[in-house]
Amino acid sequence: MCGIISYVGDKDINSVLMAGLWRLEYRGYDSSGVASVMDGELEVRKVEGRLMNLQEILSDKPLGGKVGIGHTRWATHGEPSDQNAHPQVDCNENIAIVHNGIIENYYTLKEELIKKKHIFKSNTDTEVIAHLIEENYDGDLKESVLKSASRLEGSFAIAVIAASEPDEIVAYRYGSPLIVGLGKNENIVASDIPAVLDHTRRIVILSDGEMVVLRKDKVEFYNNKGERIEKEEREIKWSPTSLDKGKYPHYMLKEIYEQPEVIERNIALRMEDEGLNFGESFHFSPHELAHLSHIVIQACGTSWHAGYIGKYLFESLARIHTEVDISSEFRYRNPVMDGEPLIMAISQSGETADTLAGLREAKAKFLNVLSLVNVRGSTIDRESDSTIYLNAGPEIGVASTKAYTSQIFQLYLFDLYLSKLKWTMDAPEIEKRVKEVNEIPEKMRKILGSADNIRKIAEKYKDSKDFMFIGRGINYPSALEGALKLKEISYIHATGYPAGEMKHGPIALIDENTPVVAIAPHSSVYEKMLNNIEELKSRGARIIIIASLGDKRVKELSNDVFYIPPSEESLSPILIALPLQLFAYYIAVLNGRDVDRPRNLAKSVTVE
């Protein structure tokens, strides 16, 4: 989704803004632009398409000056075009603004401003903010931003400069993330931490309704009444070099291969001799959790699939009634929340607008929220009562991979913890499962070691137009995830189904042109899965089975088999995820897709 970078300091404004925009590129965008104040005048360069287009324009016509704002836009209001790209400017070309989010009352404001003779040049909601600030401007940018922000409804993170005040940037946050990087004789505002790491590791995270005024040597924070406030500074320890692709052609492949290491890191952090440790942001007492009778998980996309696996885990092991809901449904359905359930929000980015809104719905009902989040300091992290971190490291590829397996891993450990507190599992059983957990990274490495087999299978099926993914029990959500991974990066239609549901409709789609990926490791539903596969095979489907190593029966049922090391059933979704991710990856690459930045998608979905 849109990205903001703004800089005040002595470095070359072109290189700083472009470097920041490249760092934000992974979020997804369709146009980009920059502006600065040069010799008392506003200069704007913006263009539709890839960042390379903007870089070329800047090589021909570079910007100058000490303050600048930059933006990658993911279109919401108005098609992707040069005109709709940000920065947007006011009538007098004095004020330039970049914006993330959606202004819900833009239409009313636009009508009001048109009556006051403002002339609009784009179809964006953002341009309304530029004219509103102009309308409220009487020589003090900070005051006019404050006044204008009070009229805006929706979500907005903005950074504003004015030709008449060439030494400062004013930024305001409401609903979309914004962070400040504190440098030496330079300061930065951006929508994400990676964009500032080339300059500083000292950051401040703005909360909703907060504003910051940045000059080269001074940073001041304000609340929405315009009163000065103090903000806590944090130091970022991870290195920007971990954002490189290394030896891999794509971030996605690199992140797939990082998964054993992510699980190993989490084993070291979570599994102590004295018991499980969910880290410094986990604030529940054992007593509280021992009395828990109901969990509601809400999340979007891949995180929702992990949550769905969580439902199977919590119900089968800790025996806790668990509901799982897609956040965009949860937030509007006014769910019955009797019995004080624990609400869980699952989000890699920690900024997904619907998941955040679901969390706020729960908080408004005075319910406890436990989140599983990868990005520390993100809004969901900060607004939750407790957070379990995924510790997956930055995930740059738009398709979630290593965050997903870490989400399942954390859910599994939390389930073991609850099972112990609720006495649904005895000590030897827990010990056996802990031993199994320790074997996961090696099993993952074995799967990755045979990636070439998956590539060969992908080559056979790369031209298919429709795929079906089926699974049962805890691997039904794995089938949903396999289908999502494939369609989002290859643009090939794919559907995930519970295998037992096929004959209630979808089996009508099956013919010799429909490859079916069947997830059938040894499990409590193994025989049922084989029956379902038989039914599809007899209708001509081409069958690819993911099976447990040593399983000979699947050979005669399938066109292709991919074997994974056997594991305890409730841990199997972690292993199953790997061949599904690799299969999607290779099919997408073989079809020439931009796997790290699939069309129309954004890494961090900060609008609903």
**Which of 100, 349, 379, 384 touches ligand F6R by CB under 6 A?**
349
Report the C-alpha dihedral over residues 137, 141, 145, 146, rounded to 10 degrees.
-100
What's the min distance (Å) between Cβ of 310 and ligand F6R?
14
Q: Applying CB under 6 A, which part among 4-12, 150-158, 267-275, 343-351 lies near ligand F6R?
A: 343-351
Interface with ligand F6R, residue 371, by CB under 6 A:
no
How is residue 297 annotated by DSSP? Answer: E
- Give the residue at shortest CB distance from ligand F6R: 301
- E strand residue ranges, 408-564: 466-471, 493-498, 515-520, 542-548, 560-564
d(CA 458, CA 523): 26
Q: Which residues pair with 370 in a beta bridge?
A: 344, 386
d(CA 113, CA 136): 11
What's the min distance (Å) between Cβ of 58 and ligand F6R?
31
Q: Applying CB under 6 A, which part among 63-71, 342-350, 436-444, 468-476 lies near ligand F6R?
A: 342-350
d(CA 560, CA 547): 10
Residue 201 or 360: the one with the smaller Cβ distance to ligand F6R is 360
What's the min distance (Å) between Cβ of 249 and ligand F6R?
19
Interface with ligand F6R, residue 303, by CB under 6 A:
yes
Q: Applying CB under 6 A, which part among 72-80, 197-205, 295-303, 521-529 lies near ligand F6R?
A: 295-303
Strand 466-471 to 493-498 pairing? parallel
What's the min distance (Å) between Cβ of 302 and ligand F6R?
3
Distance of CA 17 to the CA centre of its chain: 23
Q: Applying CB under 6 A, which part among 165-173, 349-357, 382-390, 525-533 lies near ligand F6R?
A: 349-357
Residue type, 196: V
| Strand order from edge to edge, sheet including 165-174 | 88-89, 95-103, 154-162, 165-174, 210-215, 218-222, 228-229
Measured at the alpha carbon of residue 363, what is the angle toward residues 361 and 369, in degrees to the nearest 5? 110
Residue 526 or 583: the one with the smaller Cβ distance to ligand F6R is 583
Residue 75 or 484: the one with the smaller Cβ distance to ligand F6R is 484
Interface with ligand F6R, residue 302, by CB under 6 A:
yes
What residues between 11 and 30 interact with ligand F6R by CB under 6 A? none
Would you tell me how many other CB atoms lie within 10 Å of the CB of residue 427? 8
What's the min distance (Å) between Cβ of 519 and ligand F6R?
18
| Number of chain positions touching ligand F6R (CB under 6 A) | 14
Q: Applying CB under 6 A, which part among 33-41, 147-155, 301-309, 383-391 lies near ligand F6R?
A: 301-309
Catalytic residue among 2, 46, 420, 443: 2
What residues between 539 and 578 interact with ligand F6R by CB under 6 A? none
Q: Applying CB under 6 A, which part among 214-222, 348-356, 383-391, 435-443 lies near ligand F6R?
A: 348-356
Residue 454 or 541: the one with the smaller Cβ distance to ligand F6R is 454
- Residue 507, sorted as left (phi over 0), alpha (psi -120 to 50) or beta, turns out to be alpha
What's the min distance (Å) between Cβ of 194 and ligand F6R?
15
Cα–Cα distances in angstroms (integers) from residue 171 to residues 188, 230, 330, 560, in the given order = 10, 16, 32, 55
What's the min distance (Å) between Cβ of 399 and ligand F6R?
4
Measured at the alpha carbon of residue 389, what is the angle toward residues 330 and 196, in degrees to the nearest 5? 100
Cα–Cα distances in angstroms (integers) from residue 19 to residues 115, 121, 156, 192, in the given order = 40, 28, 23, 13
**Which of 136, 259, 347, 379 touches ligand F6R by CB under 6 A?**
347
Element (H, E) at 162: strand 154-162
Strand 294-299 to 210-215 pairing? unpaired
Residue 399 or 574: the one with the smaller Cβ distance to ligand F6R is 399
3-state helix, strand, coil in the chain (%, to 5): 40, 25, 35
Interface with ligand F6R, residue 605, by CB under 6 A:
yes
**Which of 400, 495, 570, 581 touches ligand F6R by CB under 6 A?**
400
**Which of 191, 348, 371, 410 touches ligand F6R by CB under 6 A?**
348
Interface with ligand F6R, residue 352, by CB under 6 A:
yes
DSSP, collapsed to helix, strand or coil, labels residue 271 as: strand
Q: Applying CB under 6 A, which part among 20-28, 106-114, 344-352, 509-517 lies near ligand F6R?
A: 344-352
Residue 163 or 486: the one with the smaller Cβ distance to ligand F6R is 486
What residues between 421 and 440 interact with ligand F6R by CB under 6 A? none
**Which of 186, 488, 569, 596 touches ligand F6R by CB under 6 A?**
488
Q: Is 91 a catalytic residue?
A: no
Q: Name, in order, each residue with C-beta under 8 angstroms of 278's C-beta and a sequence gap of 6 or more.
A: 270, 386, 388, 410, 413, 414, 417
**Which of 65, 301, 307, 471 touches ligand F6R by CB under 6 A?**
301
Q: Is 2 a catalytic residue?
A: yes
Residue 253 or 536: the one with the smaller Cβ distance to ligand F6R is 253
What residues between 83 and 142 interact with ligand F6R by CB under 6 A? none
Residue 35 or 345: the one with the smaller Cβ distance to ligand F6R is 345
Residue 454 or 480: the one with the smaller Cβ distance to ligand F6R is 480
Interface with ligand F6R, residue 72, by CB under 6 A:
no
Tokens of 458: 């992908």
Interface with ligand F6R, residue 399, by CB under 6 A:
yes
d(CA 143, CA 341): 44
* Residues 308 and 577 sit within 8 Å (Cβ to Cβ): no
d(CA 434, CA 488): 34
HEC-encoded secondary structure of 220-250: EEECCCCCEECCCCEECCCCHHHHCCCCCCC
Which residues are annotated as catalytic? 2, 603
Binding site for ligand F6R (CB under 6 A): 300-303, 347-349, 352, 355, 399-400, 484, 488, 605
